[in-house]
Amino acid sequence: MLRKKNTAPVVLAVSSGGGHWTQMQRLAPAFSGADVHFATTDASASEQVGAHNFYVYPDANKSTPIRLMLCVLSLVWIVLRVRPDVIVSTGAAGGFLAIRIGRLIGARTMFIDSIANARRLSVSAHLALNVADHVLSQWPGVAAKTGAEYRGAVI
């Protein structure tokens, strides 16, 4: 993807609502200097992102196949509209899907598994191991036995 020289990198930060969103908000200072776009399942979260671009996609999981297809279509639209250089996700299914879609257009990707997963990776993080550039666990023991990376905890 060709960008004008000296332009800010475009970051798409994707997470489900609740704890996933809270962890993403704690990471937000790391995106300083970037053109940041946030995507989540909770429309009310728009109040927390200030002037940044904000998108909503349907919450879904493997038990809700129709909603999962709507989620995929929404995320395809978001990724193609934003054209991110980097996609960062704190989970869950939508984050994995955004990373999968983003890899198809050459985006660099990182999946950060929830701090709640102290014994094993989430299903989404496990799937991301085969797709994302980096998958991080917030627990050193989980990282050691799964092949994920450990770089500390968000919370």
* pLDDT tens digits for range 62-103: 999 999 999 999 999 999 999 999 999 999 999 999 999 999
The pLDDT, as a whole number, for residue 11 is: 98
Tell me the pLDDT band of 50, cut-offs 50, 70 and 90.
Answer: confident
pTM, full prediction: 0.94
* Distance between CA atoms of residues 154 and 111, nearest Å: 13
| Domain range 10-150, CATH architecture | 3-Layer(aba) Sandwich (3.40)
SS3 103: helix
pLDDT value at position 92?
Answer: 94
Q: How remote is the C-alpha of 48 from its chain's centroid? A: 17
The single-letter DSSP state of residue 123 is H
What angle is formed at CA 129 by the lines to CA 65 and CA 72, rounded to 5 degrees?
A: 30
Where in the chain are the domains?
10-150
Cα(145)–Cα(121) distance, integer angstroms? 10
Q: Measuring CA to CA, how many Å separate 139 from each of 17, 20, 50, 63, 97?
A: 21, 16, 31, 27, 23
